[in-house]
Amino acid sequence: MHDIDWNDLRYVLALARGRSFAAAGRELGTDATTVGRRLRIVEQHLGAALFQRDAGGMMLPTPTGEIAVARAEAIEAEVAALSGALEAADPMALGKVRLTAPPSFINRLLIRAAPGLLTRHPGLQLELIGDARNFNLTRREADMALRLARPADIANSKVVARRIATLNYAVYVATGQQDQAENLPWLIYEEAMAHLPHARWIAAQAEKSGRAGALAVNDAESLLQAAVAGLGRALLPTILAEDADGLCRVDTGDKSLPVRELWLLTHAELRQLARIRAVSGWLDKVFHHPPTQ
């Protein structure tokens, strides 16, 4: 049996997670042909097939492949741990921090507050990734993440979570529409987000009033812009909408308005790095003393 290159095992992991050559290629920044070629190299070294295509066209690990994937995941974790240990030796807030958050928080808060952080730490490089998907911190897809819920499986992962803020919500309409707010339709979230507490609240109000709008969106920024355009009533976090141009808060007198918790997730092996601590402290200030427009 020949020696196996760790870089080839990355293709095995990506294929196991993506279930197709194309998906694995997208994760690794290459094409499906390259993924297939690197897989064949590993299979030749091991003398066994690691994947087989099922009836639906998905690439699934064979019994031998399951063993290879499990071992590759263990190697991946060790490589990440080594990287974190080496980086921890650097006492300065230097280097890159990759932070993922819902787009509305990046657009409305973090971009405006970033100059202060980068001025204080000129050696810091901040990557802000506006995406609502749950990036995998264990695999270092991101170093930190802002999420509107605490992960359910946090006790079994290498991620540290702490509540960074409590977000209040209010109803907003376009400036000049406040007197007719009750006659405006509700701006709603699309079906894939229907399980979220604030989306459920909007859906309940729309059903009760019989005024569901014709527009459905998938993030708070789109909801905010739709309200500014005069398309209806929007339920929004006050920290994002209170100072937004073109919006006016409507006092509904409703005490059932939702409240959400905002959580900061950090890879456990990175949390003591100077640059991670710098960004963490900055986020605390941003959400307790948000920048004004």
Q: Report d(CA 206, CA 200) in Å as an integer.
A: 10
- Beta strand 186-189 with 212-217: parallel, antiparallel or unpaired? parallel
- Average the pLDDT over each of 67-71, 154-158, 193-197 and give the range with the smallest value: 154-158
- Span 18-27, pLDDT tens digits: 899 998 888 8
Residues 98 and 199 in one domain: yes
Residues 276 and 255 in one domain: yes
Residues 23 and 134 in one domain: no
Residues 106 and 67 in one domain: no
Does residue 65 lie in a domain region?
A: yes
Q: Which amino acid is located at 129 in the chain? A: I
What is the pLDDT averaged over residues 59-79? 85
Does residue 171 lie in a domain region?
A: yes
- Span 196-239, pLDDT tens digits: 889 999 989 888 888 777 788 988 999 999 999 999 999 999 99
Residues 202 and 116 in one domain: yes
Residues 113 and 192 in one domain: yes
Structure confidence at residue 256 (pLDDT): 84
Last residue of a domain, one of 87, 110, 130: 87
Last residue of a domain, one of 41, 70, 87: 87
Q: Report d(CA 258, CA 260) in Å as an integer.
A: 7
Residue-averaged pLDDT of the chain: 85
Does residue 1 lie in a domain region?
A: no
Last residue of a domain, one of 87, 105, 132: 87
Residues paired with 267 in a beta bridge: 159
Question: Domain limits at 29?
Answer: 6-87
Residues 63 and 116 in one domain: no
Q: Report d(CA 242, CA 172) in Å as an integer.
A: 9
Residues 178 and 70 in one domain: no
- Give, for 217, the enclosing helix (H) or strand (E): strand 212-217
| CA-closest candidate to residue 215, choices 228, 130, 136, 156 | 228
Residues 28 and 171 in one domain: no
What is the pLDDT averaged over residues 253-278? 86
Residues 292 and 195 in one domain: yes
- Span 29-40, pLDDT tens digits: 889 999 999 899
What is the pLDDT averaged over residues 80-87? 60
User: How many structural domains are present in the chain?
Assistant: 2
Residue 69 sits in a domain whose CATH number is: 1.10.10.10
What is the pLDDT averaged over residues 162-177? 93
Residue 232 sits in a domain whose CATH number is: 3.40.190.290
Does residue 117 lie in a domain region?
A: yes
Does residue 107 lie in a domain region?
A: yes
Residues 260 and 132 in one domain: yes
